[in-house]
Structure 1
Amino acid sequence: MINSCSSDKELYEIYEKGHSKYSDQEYTIRCKLAAAYRLMAYFKWDELIYNHLTARIPGTEHILLNPFGMRFDEITASSLVCVDLDGKVVDPGNTTHGFNYTGYVIHGAIHKSRPDVLATVHTHSPPGVAVASYKDGLLLTNQTACTLGEVTYHDYEGISTDKDEQERIIKSLGDTSNVLILRNHGLLTCGDDVAAAFARIFTLTKACEIQVQTLSMVGGDQSKITPISQEIQDKVANTHKMFSRVGYGKKEFKAFYNLMLQLDPSFKN
Protein backbone atom coordinates (compact mmCIF):
# COMPACT_ATOMS: atom_id res chain seq x y z
CA MET A 1 0.00 0.00 0.00
CA ILE A 2 1.92 3.03 -1.25
CA ASN A 3 1.04 6.41 0.16
CA SER A 4 2.52 9.03 -2.16
CA CYS A 5 0.50 11.94 -0.73
CA SER A 6 1.17 11.39 2.95
CA SER A 7 1.85 15.06 3.71
CA ASP A 8 -1.71 16.16 2.89
CA LYS A 9 -2.91 18.40 5.70
CA GLU A 10 -6.23 16.63 6.17
CA LEU A 11 -4.50 13.40 7.18
CA TYR A 12 -3.29 14.98 10.40
CA GLU A 13 -6.49 16.69 11.47
CA ILE A 14 -8.54 15.31 14.35
CA TYR A 15 -11.09 12.71 13.29
CA GLU A 16 -13.55 13.40 16.09
CA LYS A 17 -13.74 15.81 19.03
CA GLY A 18 -16.07 17.14 21.68
CA HIS A 19 -16.56 14.09 23.95
CA SER A 20 -17.40 15.13 27.51
CA LYS A 21 -15.17 12.55 29.21
CA TYR A 22 -12.05 12.47 27.04
CA SER A 23 -9.63 15.01 25.63
CA ASP A 24 -9.90 15.51 21.85
CA GLN A 25 -6.66 13.58 21.40
CA GLU A 26 -7.79 10.56 23.42
CA TYR A 27 -11.25 10.57 21.87
CA THR A 28 -9.71 10.60 18.39
CA ILE A 29 -7.57 7.59 19.24
CA ARG A 30 -10.51 5.78 20.82
CA CYS A 31 -12.64 6.37 17.71
CA LYS A 32 -9.89 5.20 15.37
CA LEU A 33 -9.25 2.07 17.44
CA ALA A 34 -12.97 1.29 17.71
CA ALA A 35 -13.30 1.72 13.95
CA ALA A 36 -10.34 -0.63 13.46
CA TYR A 37 -12.08 -3.27 15.59
CA ARG A 38 -15.23 -2.88 13.49
CA LEU A 39 -13.12 -3.20 10.32
CA MET A 40 -11.63 -6.45 11.61
CA ALA A 41 -15.16 -7.82 11.90
CA TYR A 42 -16.09 -6.41 8.49
CA PHE A 43 -13.18 -8.26 6.86
CA LYS A 44 -13.96 -11.39 8.95
CA TRP A 45 -10.55 -11.40 10.62
CA ASP A 46 -12.06 -11.57 14.10
CA GLU A 47 -12.44 -14.72 16.20
CA LEU A 48 -15.44 -14.50 18.51
CA ILE A 49 -14.24 -12.25 21.37
CA TYR A 50 -10.53 -13.09 21.03
CA ASN A 51 -7.49 -11.29 19.56
CA HIS A 52 -6.54 -7.72 20.22
CA LEU A 53 -5.80 -4.29 18.82
CA THR A 54 -4.20 -1.73 21.10
CA ALA A 55 -3.33 1.95 21.01
CA ARG A 56 -1.21 3.96 23.41
CA ILE A 57 -2.45 7.36 24.52
CA PRO A 58 0.50 9.64 23.56
CA GLY A 59 2.40 11.14 26.46
CA THR A 60 1.21 8.42 28.84
CA GLU A 61 1.96 4.81 29.70
CA HIS A 62 -1.68 3.87 29.15
CA ILE A 63 -2.93 1.60 26.39
CA LEU A 64 -6.44 0.93 25.15
CA LEU A 65 -7.78 -2.51 24.25
CA ASN A 66 -11.07 -4.34 23.87
CA PRO A 67 -13.30 -5.39 26.78
CA PHE A 68 -13.19 -9.19 27.03
CA GLY A 69 -16.73 -10.21 26.21
CA MET A 70 -17.73 -7.96 23.33
CA ARG A 71 -17.65 -8.93 19.66
CA PHE A 72 -15.47 -6.72 17.50
CA ASP A 73 -18.54 -5.40 15.69
CA GLU A 74 -19.87 -4.14 19.04
CA ILE A 75 -16.79 -2.19 20.14
CA THR A 76 -17.26 1.52 20.77
CA ALA A 77 -14.90 4.34 21.72
CA SER A 78 -16.14 4.45 25.32
CA SER A 79 -16.20 0.67 25.80
CA LEU A 80 -12.43 0.37 25.34
CA VAL A 81 -10.53 -0.54 28.50
CA CYS A 82 -7.55 1.58 29.50
CA VAL A 83 -4.69 -0.22 31.30
CA ASP A 84 -1.19 0.83 32.29
CA LEU A 85 1.95 -0.96 31.16
CA ASP A 86 1.87 -3.13 34.27
CA GLY A 87 -1.59 -4.44 33.38
CA LYS A 88 -3.52 -2.41 35.97
CA VAL A 89 -6.93 -1.10 34.87
CA VAL A 90 -6.98 2.70 34.73
CA ASP A 91 -10.43 3.06 33.14
CA PRO A 92 -12.72 0.03 32.69
CA GLY A 93 -14.80 1.77 30.02
CA ASN A 94 -18.57 1.50 30.05
CA THR A 95 -18.70 -2.28 30.62
CA THR A 96 -17.81 -4.65 33.44
CA HIS A 97 -16.08 -7.17 31.16
CA GLY A 98 -12.48 -6.41 32.09
CA PHE A 99 -9.80 -7.40 29.58
CA ASN A 100 -8.13 -10.53 28.25
CA TYR A 101 -4.82 -10.99 30.06
CA THR A 102 -3.14 -12.62 27.05
CA GLY A 103 -3.65 -9.34 25.19
CA TYR A 104 -1.67 -7.54 27.85
CA VAL A 105 1.13 -10.14 27.81
CA ILE A 106 1.72 -9.75 24.08
CA HIS A 107 0.88 -6.11 23.50
CA GLY A 108 2.08 -4.76 26.84
CA ALA A 109 5.52 -6.22 26.17
CA ILE A 110 5.76 -4.40 22.85
CA HIS A 111 4.50 -1.08 24.16
CA LYS A 112 6.96 -1.28 27.05
CA SER A 113 9.99 -1.98 24.89
CA ARG A 114 9.20 0.01 21.75
CA PRO A 115 8.25 3.64 22.47
CA ASP A 116 8.01 4.19 18.71
CA VAL A 117 5.04 1.80 18.63
CA LEU A 118 1.73 3.49 19.41
CA ALA A 119 -0.56 0.79 18.02
CA THR A 120 -0.56 -2.97 17.52
CA VAL A 121 -2.85 -5.46 15.79
CA HIS A 122 -2.96 -9.22 16.43
CA THR A 123 -5.11 -11.64 14.44
CA HIS A 124 -5.81 -15.35 13.97
CA SER A 125 -7.21 -15.06 10.44
CA PRO A 126 -7.18 -18.46 8.65
CA PRO A 127 -4.66 -17.45 5.95
CA GLY A 128 -2.49 -15.80 8.59
CA VAL A 129 -2.44 -18.86 10.83
CA ALA A 130 -1.82 -21.06 7.80
CA VAL A 131 1.30 -19.11 6.84
CA ALA A 132 2.37 -18.89 10.49
CA SER A 133 2.19 -22.70 10.60
CA TYR A 134 4.06 -23.12 7.31
CA LYS A 135 7.69 -24.12 7.92
CA ASP A 136 9.04 -21.60 5.42
CA GLY A 137 6.87 -18.79 6.74
CA LEU A 138 5.98 -15.88 4.47
CA LEU A 139 7.32 -16.37 0.96
CA LEU A 140 8.47 -13.23 -0.84
CA THR A 141 7.07 -14.42 -4.14
CA ASN A 142 4.61 -11.60 -4.79
CA GLN A 143 4.73 -7.82 -4.72
CA THR A 144 2.37 -7.53 -1.75
CA ALA A 145 4.65 -9.60 0.48
CA CYS A 146 7.74 -7.70 -0.65
CA THR A 147 6.28 -4.35 0.37
CA LEU A 148 6.20 -5.38 4.03
CA GLY A 149 9.95 -5.02 4.47
CA GLU A 150 11.43 -6.58 7.60
CA VAL A 151 9.44 -9.57 8.89
CA THR A 152 10.42 -11.33 12.12
CA TYR A 153 9.23 -14.57 13.77
CA HIS A 154 8.44 -15.80 17.28
CA ASP A 155 8.32 -19.51 18.11
CA TYR A 156 5.11 -20.86 19.60
CA GLU A 157 5.10 -21.30 23.39
CA GLY A 158 1.42 -22.08 23.93
CA ILE A 159 -1.34 -19.64 24.92
CA SER A 160 0.35 -16.39 25.94
CA THR A 161 -0.35 -16.21 29.68
CA ASP A 162 3.26 -16.34 30.91
CA LYS A 163 4.78 -12.91 31.62
CA ASP A 164 8.23 -14.48 31.16
CA GLU A 165 7.40 -14.80 27.45
CA GLN A 166 7.29 -11.03 27.14
CA GLU A 167 11.08 -10.74 26.97
CA ARG A 168 11.22 -13.37 24.24
CA ILE A 169 8.46 -11.64 22.23
CA ILE A 170 10.40 -8.38 22.45
CA LYS A 171 13.58 -10.11 21.32
CA SER A 172 11.78 -11.80 18.42
CA LEU A 173 10.25 -8.53 17.20
CA GLY A 174 13.53 -6.66 17.45
CA ASP A 175 14.17 -2.93 17.46
CA THR A 176 13.03 -2.10 13.94
CA SER A 177 10.51 -4.67 12.68
CA ASN A 178 6.82 -3.78 12.54
CA VAL A 179 5.70 -7.20 11.35
CA LEU A 180 5.89 -10.27 13.60
CA ILE A 181 4.66 -13.71 12.60
CA LEU A 182 3.83 -15.79 15.67
CA ARG A 183 4.57 -19.34 14.51
CA ASN A 184 1.61 -21.74 14.71
CA HIS A 185 -0.39 -18.87 16.17
CA GLY A 186 -1.09 -15.80 14.04
CA LEU A 187 0.01 -12.38 12.84
CA LEU A 188 1.00 -9.17 14.60
CA THR A 189 1.75 -5.72 13.21
CA CYS A 190 2.85 -2.45 14.79
CA GLY A 191 2.80 1.21 13.85
CA ASP A 192 3.22 4.77 15.04
CA ASP A 193 -0.54 5.18 14.65
CA VAL A 194 -3.64 2.99 14.43
CA ALA A 195 -3.63 3.72 10.69
CA ALA A 196 -0.11 2.34 10.20
CA ALA A 197 -0.69 -0.84 12.21
CA PHE A 198 -3.97 -1.47 10.39
CA ALA A 199 -2.45 -0.85 6.96
CA ARG A 200 0.24 -3.40 7.74
CA ILE A 201 -2.19 -6.10 8.91
CA PHE A 202 -4.26 -5.49 5.78
CA THR A 203 -1.18 -5.94 3.57
CA LEU A 204 0.16 -8.91 5.56
CA THR A 205 -3.17 -10.71 5.50
CA LYS A 206 -3.50 -10.12 1.77
CA ALA A 207 0.02 -11.50 1.24
CA CYS A 208 -0.92 -14.61 3.27
CA GLU A 209 -4.10 -15.08 1.22
CA ILE A 210 -2.09 -14.90 -1.99
CA GLN A 211 0.46 -17.39 -0.66
CA VAL A 212 -2.16 -19.92 0.47
CA GLN A 213 -3.87 -19.75 -2.94
CA THR A 214 -0.59 -19.94 -4.84
CA LEU A 215 0.67 -22.98 -2.93
CA SER A 216 -2.72 -24.64 -3.40
CA MET A 217 -2.53 -23.97 -7.13
CA VAL A 218 0.91 -25.59 -7.47
CA GLY A 219 0.23 -28.44 -5.05
CA GLY A 220 2.74 -27.06 -2.55
CA ASP A 221 5.63 -27.27 -5.03
CA GLN A 222 7.56 -24.02 -4.58
CA SER A 223 9.66 -24.77 -7.65
CA LYS A 224 6.58 -23.99 -9.76
CA ILE A 225 6.35 -20.45 -8.37
CA THR A 226 8.17 -17.75 -10.32
CA PRO A 227 10.83 -16.43 -7.93
CA ILE A 228 11.64 -12.79 -7.22
CA SER A 229 15.35 -12.08 -6.92
CA GLN A 230 16.78 -10.66 -3.71
CA GLU A 231 17.71 -7.52 -5.63
CA ILE A 232 14.11 -6.93 -6.73
CA GLN A 233 12.76 -7.84 -3.29
CA ASP A 234 14.97 -5.15 -1.77
CA LYS A 235 14.02 -2.69 -4.49
CA VAL A 236 10.30 -3.16 -3.86
CA ALA A 237 10.72 -2.86 -0.08
CA ASN A 238 12.89 0.25 -0.37
CA THR A 239 10.55 1.90 -2.89
CA HIS A 240 7.56 1.24 -0.67
CA LYS A 241 9.45 2.53 2.37
CA MET A 242 10.38 5.72 0.55
CA PHE A 243 6.81 6.48 -0.48
CA SER A 244 5.48 5.53 2.95
CA ARG A 245 8.10 7.28 5.07
CA VAL A 246 5.68 9.89 6.47
CA GLY A 247 2.10 9.11 7.31
CA TYR A 248 2.13 5.42 6.40
CA GLY A 249 -1.40 4.09 5.99
CA LYS A 250 -3.16 7.37 6.78
CA LYS A 251 -4.92 7.79 3.43
CA GLU A 252 -5.97 4.15 3.37
CA PHE A 253 -7.28 4.20 6.93
CA LYS A 254 -9.16 7.45 6.38
CA ALA A 255 -10.99 5.73 3.51
CA PHE A 256 -11.76 2.73 5.73
CA TYR A 257 -12.87 5.05 8.55
CA ASN A 258 -15.30 6.76 6.20
CA LEU A 259 -16.66 3.34 5.26
CA MET A 260 -17.38 2.60 8.92
CA LEU A 261 -19.09 5.98 9.28
CA GLN A 262 -21.38 5.07 6.40
CA LEU A 263 -22.11 1.56 7.63
CA ASP A 264 -22.65 2.24 11.33
CA PRO A 265 -21.26 5.34 13.11
CA SER A 266 -22.17 3.90 16.54
CA PHE A 267 -18.50 2.98 17.05
CA LYS A 268 -17.99 6.65 18.07
CA ASN A 269 -20.26 6.27 21.10
Structure 2
Amino acid sequence: MAVADDETDGLSARAHSLEQALLDSILATVPDALIVIDMHGSIVSFSAAAQNMFQYAESDVLGENISMLMPSPDRERHDGYIGHYLDTGERRIIGIGRLTSARRRDGSVFPIELSVGEVSDQGRRLFTGFIRDLTERQQAERRVADLQAELAHTSRVTAMGTLASALAHELNQPLTAIANYMEAGRDLLDAEGPVDRDLLREAMDESAAQALRAGEIIRSLREFIKRGETMRQPESLRGLLAEGAALAFIGVDSRGL
Protein backbone atom coordinates (compact mmCIF):
# COMPACT_ATOMS: atom_id res chain seq x y z
CA MET A 1 0.00 0.00 0.00
CA ALA A 2 2.84 2.37 0.83
CA VAL A 3 4.37 1.75 -2.59
CA ALA A 4 1.01 2.49 -4.28
CA ASP A 5 0.63 5.67 -2.26
CA ASP A 6 4.13 6.74 -3.21
CA GLU A 7 3.40 6.08 -6.87
CA THR A 8 0.12 8.05 -6.62
CA ASP A 9 1.91 10.95 -4.94
CA GLY A 10 4.58 10.82 -7.63
CA LEU A 11 2.00 10.91 -10.41
CA SER A 12 0.18 13.80 -8.73
CA ALA A 13 3.43 15.71 -8.34
CA ARG A 14 4.36 15.14 -11.97
CA ALA A 15 0.87 16.15 -13.12
CA HIS A 16 1.05 19.29 -11.02
CA SER A 17 4.51 20.05 -12.36
CA LEU A 18 3.27 19.54 -15.93
CA GLU A 19 0.26 21.80 -15.32
CA GLN A 20 2.52 24.47 -13.85
CA ALA A 21 4.94 24.23 -16.77
CA LEU A 22 2.04 24.49 -19.22
CA LEU A 23 0.65 27.51 -17.37
CA ASP A 24 4.06 29.18 -17.28
CA SER A 25 4.47 28.54 -21.01
CA ILE A 26 1.09 30.09 -21.78
CA LEU A 27 1.73 33.11 -19.58
CA ALA A 28 5.15 33.60 -21.17
CA THR A 29 3.56 33.96 -24.61
CA VAL A 30 0.53 36.06 -23.65
CA PRO A 31 1.21 39.72 -24.52
CA ASP A 32 -0.95 40.98 -21.66
CA ALA A 33 0.68 41.23 -18.25
CA LEU A 34 -0.69 39.03 -15.46
CA ILE A 35 -0.28 40.05 -11.84
CA VAL A 36 -1.73 38.09 -8.92
CA ILE A 37 -2.17 39.66 -5.48
CA ASP A 38 -3.55 38.43 -2.18
CA MET A 39 -6.29 40.02 -0.11
CA HIS A 40 -3.75 42.37 1.47
CA GLY A 41 -2.63 43.72 -1.90
CA SER A 42 0.72 41.92 -1.84
CA ILE A 43 2.06 40.64 -5.17
CA VAL A 44 2.30 36.83 -5.29
CA SER A 45 2.85 36.34 -9.05
CA PHE A 46 4.33 38.57 -11.73
CA SER A 47 4.37 37.25 -15.30
CA ALA A 48 7.16 37.72 -17.83
CA ALA A 49 4.99 40.19 -19.76
CA ALA A 50 4.48 42.15 -16.55
CA GLN A 51 8.24 42.27 -16.00
CA ASN A 52 8.75 43.68 -19.50
CA MET A 53 5.89 46.12 -19.14
CA PHE A 54 6.80 47.53 -15.74
CA GLN A 55 10.61 47.08 -15.99
CA TYR A 56 10.76 45.11 -12.73
CA ALA A 57 12.12 41.61 -12.19
CA GLU A 58 9.71 39.28 -10.42
CA SER A 59 12.06 39.04 -7.44
CA ASP A 60 11.87 42.83 -7.04
CA VAL A 61 8.11 42.92 -6.58
CA LEU A 62 7.07 39.65 -4.90
CA GLY A 63 5.64 40.47 -1.49
CA GLU A 64 5.42 44.18 -2.29
CA ASN A 65 2.11 46.06 -2.38
CA ILE A 66 0.57 46.35 -5.83
CA SER A 67 0.21 50.11 -5.27
CA MET A 68 3.89 50.47 -6.20
CA LEU A 69 2.77 50.05 -9.81
CA MET A 70 0.17 52.82 -9.62
CA PRO A 71 0.35 56.59 -9.94
CA SER A 72 -1.48 58.90 -7.55
CA PRO A 73 -4.28 59.02 -6.50
CA ASP A 74 -4.90 55.28 -7.05
CA ARG A 75 -1.60 54.57 -5.31
CA GLU A 76 -2.92 55.87 -2.01
CA ARG A 77 -6.47 54.54 -2.39
CA HIS A 78 -5.95 50.97 -3.59
CA ASP A 79 -5.87 49.24 -0.20
CA GLY A 80 -9.13 51.00 0.59
CA TYR A 81 -10.64 49.60 -2.60
CA ILE A 82 -9.77 46.04 -1.55
CA GLY A 83 -11.02 46.61 2.00
CA HIS A 84 -14.33 47.97 0.73
CA TYR A 85 -14.83 44.94 -1.51
CA LEU A 86 -13.96 42.44 1.22
CA ASP A 87 -16.33 44.17 3.65
CA THR A 88 -19.29 44.73 1.32
CA GLY A 89 -18.84 42.38 -1.64
CA GLU A 90 -19.63 45.32 -3.93
CA ARG A 91 -17.95 44.84 -7.29
CA ARG A 92 -16.63 48.09 -8.66
CA ILE A 93 -13.86 46.67 -10.87
CA ILE A 94 -13.83 42.88 -10.45
CA GLY A 95 -15.35 41.21 -13.47
CA ILE A 96 -15.93 44.59 -15.11
CA GLY A 97 -12.58 46.06 -16.07
CA ARG A 98 -11.69 49.66 -16.72
CA LEU A 99 -9.29 52.04 -18.42
CA THR A 100 -6.73 53.54 -16.06
CA SER A 101 -3.02 54.31 -15.74
CA ALA A 102 0.01 52.43 -14.43
CA ARG A 103 3.50 53.42 -13.35
CA ARG A 104 6.78 51.89 -14.55
CA ARG A 105 9.95 51.49 -12.55
CA ASP A 106 11.38 54.69 -14.05
CA GLY A 107 8.34 56.62 -12.86
CA SER A 108 6.74 57.05 -16.27
CA VAL A 109 2.96 56.72 -16.38
CA PHE A 110 1.20 54.96 -19.25
CA PRO A 111 -2.43 54.10 -20.15
CA ILE A 112 -3.69 50.58 -19.54
CA GLU A 113 -6.78 48.44 -19.81
CA LEU A 114 -7.24 46.52 -16.56
CA SER A 115 -9.36 43.38 -16.13
CA VAL A 116 -9.60 42.02 -12.58
CA GLY A 117 -10.82 38.61 -11.50
CA GLU A 118 -11.02 36.69 -8.23
CA VAL A 119 -9.89 33.11 -7.53
CA SER A 120 -9.63 30.91 -4.48
CA ASP A 121 -6.52 28.82 -3.85
CA GLN A 122 -6.79 26.39 -0.95
CA GLY A 123 -9.03 28.77 0.95
CA ARG A 124 -6.91 31.81 0.15
CA ARG A 125 -8.57 34.63 -1.79
CA LEU A 126 -6.49 35.93 -4.65
CA PHE A 127 -7.08 38.60 -7.25
CA THR A 128 -5.80 38.37 -10.82
CA GLY A 129 -5.17 41.39 -12.96
CA PHE A 130 -4.70 41.20 -16.71
CA ILE A 131 -3.11 44.43 -17.95
CA ARG A 132 -2.89 45.62 -21.53
CA ASP A 133 -0.61 48.53 -22.45
CA LEU A 134 -2.65 51.02 -24.48
CA THR A 135 0.25 53.30 -25.40
CA GLU A 136 0.53 52.14 -29.01
CA ARG A 137 -3.24 52.04 -29.46
CA GLN A 138 -3.66 55.60 -28.21
CA GLN A 139 -0.77 56.76 -30.37
CA ALA A 140 -2.44 55.11 -33.35
CA GLU A 141 -5.77 56.74 -32.44
CA ARG A 142 -4.10 60.14 -32.20
CA ARG A 143 -2.45 59.53 -35.57
CA VAL A 144 -5.81 58.59 -37.09
CA ALA A 145 -7.32 61.75 -35.58
CA ASP A 146 -4.47 63.82 -37.05
CA LEU A 147 -4.96 62.19 -40.46
CA GLN A 148 -8.69 62.85 -40.28
CA ALA A 149 -8.00 66.50 -39.43
CA GLU A 150 -5.57 66.72 -42.36
CA LEU A 151 -8.13 65.10 -44.65
CA ALA A 152 -10.81 67.52 -43.47
CA HIS A 153 -8.45 70.42 -44.11
CA THR A 154 -7.64 69.11 -47.58
CA SER A 155 -11.34 68.67 -48.28
CA ARG A 156 -12.00 72.25 -47.19
CA VAL A 157 -9.19 73.53 -49.41
CA THR A 158 -10.53 71.50 -52.33
CA ALA A 159 -14.05 72.75 -51.66
CA MET A 160 -12.78 76.32 -51.54
CA GLY A 161 -11.04 75.81 -54.89
CA THR A 162 -14.22 74.40 -56.39
CA LEU A 163 -16.23 77.22 -54.87
CA ALA A 164 -13.83 79.85 -56.21
CA SER A 165 -14.05 78.31 -59.68
CA ALA A 166 -17.84 78.28 -59.53
CA LEU A 167 -17.89 81.86 -58.25
CA ALA A 168 -15.61 83.00 -61.07
CA HIS A 169 -17.89 81.30 -63.58
CA GLU A 170 -21.06 82.80 -62.09
CA LEU A 171 -19.63 86.31 -61.82
CA ASN A 172 -18.08 86.21 -65.27
CA GLN A 173 -21.51 86.20 -66.93
CA PRO A 174 -22.91 89.43 -65.44
CA LEU A 175 -19.53 91.16 -65.58
CA THR A 176 -19.19 90.28 -69.27
CA ALA A 177 -22.72 91.51 -69.86
CA ILE A 178 -21.94 94.81 -68.10
CA ALA A 179 -18.84 95.27 -70.25
CA ASN A 180 -20.81 94.55 -73.43
CA TYR A 181 -23.61 96.95 -72.48
CA MET A 182 -21.05 99.64 -71.69
CA GLU A 183 -19.35 99.11 -75.04
CA ALA A 184 -22.72 99.30 -76.77
CA GLY A 185 -23.46 102.56 -74.96
CA ARG A 186 -20.09 103.94 -75.99
CA ASP A 187 -20.80 102.97 -79.59
CA LEU A 188 -24.09 104.84 -79.37
CA LEU A 189 -22.31 107.94 -78.10
CA ASP A 190 -19.61 107.68 -80.78
CA ALA A 191 -22.07 107.19 -83.61
CA GLU A 192 -22.66 110.08 -86.02
CA GLY A 193 -25.91 111.90 -85.75
CA PRO A 194 -28.18 112.40 -82.78
CA VAL A 195 -27.80 110.02 -79.84
CA ASP A 196 -30.58 107.51 -79.48
CA ARG A 197 -31.34 108.25 -75.84
CA ASP A 198 -33.80 105.38 -75.52
CA LEU A 199 -31.21 102.80 -76.60
CA LEU A 200 -28.58 104.42 -74.39
CA ARG A 201 -30.96 104.29 -71.42
CA GLU A 202 -31.69 100.64 -72.23
CA ALA A 203 -27.96 99.85 -72.19
CA MET A 204 -27.53 101.66 -68.87
CA ASP A 205 -30.57 99.93 -67.35
CA GLU A 206 -29.32 96.51 -68.44
CA SER A 207 -25.86 97.28 -67.04
CA ALA A 208 -27.40 98.22 -63.71
CA ALA A 209 -29.47 95.02 -63.71
CA GLN A 210 -26.39 92.91 -64.35
CA ALA A 211 -24.53 94.69 -61.55
CA LEU A 212 -27.41 93.86 -59.21
CA ARG A 213 -27.27 90.26 -60.41
CA ALA A 214 -23.54 90.11 -59.56
CA GLY A 215 -24.35 91.48 -56.11
CA GLU A 216 -27.03 88.81 -55.67
CA ILE A 217 -24.49 86.11 -56.52
CA ILE A 218 -22.16 87.46 -53.82
CA ARG A 219 -25.03 87.59 -51.31
CA SER A 220 -26.02 84.00 -52.10
CA LEU A 221 -22.43 82.91 -51.63
CA ARG A 222 -22.30 84.55 -48.20
CA GLU A 223 -25.51 82.77 -47.21
CA PHE A 224 -24.10 79.46 -48.45
CA ILE A 225 -20.91 79.88 -46.42
CA LYS A 226 -22.84 80.94 -43.33
CA ARG A 227 -25.42 78.17 -43.39
CA GLY A 228 -23.55 75.50 -45.35
CA GLU A 229 -26.59 74.96 -47.54
CA THR A 230 -26.94 75.10 -51.31
CA MET A 231 -29.40 77.70 -52.52
CA ARG A 232 -31.15 76.68 -55.72
CA GLN A 233 -34.12 78.23 -57.46
CA PRO A 234 -35.86 77.67 -60.79
CA GLU A 235 -35.17 80.09 -63.62
CA SER A 236 -37.50 80.89 -66.48
CA LEU A 237 -36.05 79.72 -69.78
CA ARG A 238 -38.03 82.47 -71.53
CA GLY A 239 -36.43 85.06 -69.25
CA LEU A 240 -32.93 83.74 -69.89
CA LEU A 241 -33.51 83.78 -73.65
CA ALA A 242 -34.91 87.30 -73.46
CA GLU A 243 -31.89 88.44 -71.48
CA GLY A 244 -29.53 86.92 -74.03
CA ALA A 245 -31.43 88.47 -76.90
CA ALA A 246 -31.40 91.89 -75.25
CA LEU A 247 -27.66 91.62 -74.81
CA ALA A 248 -27.11 90.51 -78.39
CA PHE A 249 -29.29 93.11 -80.10
CA ILE A 250 -28.59 96.19 -78.02
CA GLY A 251 -27.75 99.08 -80.37
CA VAL A 252 -28.08 97.10 -83.58
CA ASP A 253 -30.06 99.89 -85.19
CA SER A 254 -27.24 102.37 -84.65
CA ARG A 255 -24.83 100.01 -86.34
CA GLY A 256 -27.10 99.50 -89.33
CA LEU A 257 -27.77 95.82 -88.61
Name the TM-score class by shorter chain: under 0.3
The TM-score with structure 2 as length reference comes to 0.28
**Whose Rg is larger?**
2
Q: Which has the higher helix share?
A: 2
User: Comparing both chains, which one has the higher relative contact order based on Cα–Cα distances under 8 Å and sequence gaps of 6 or more?
Assistant: 1
**TM-score after normalising by structure 1:** 0.27
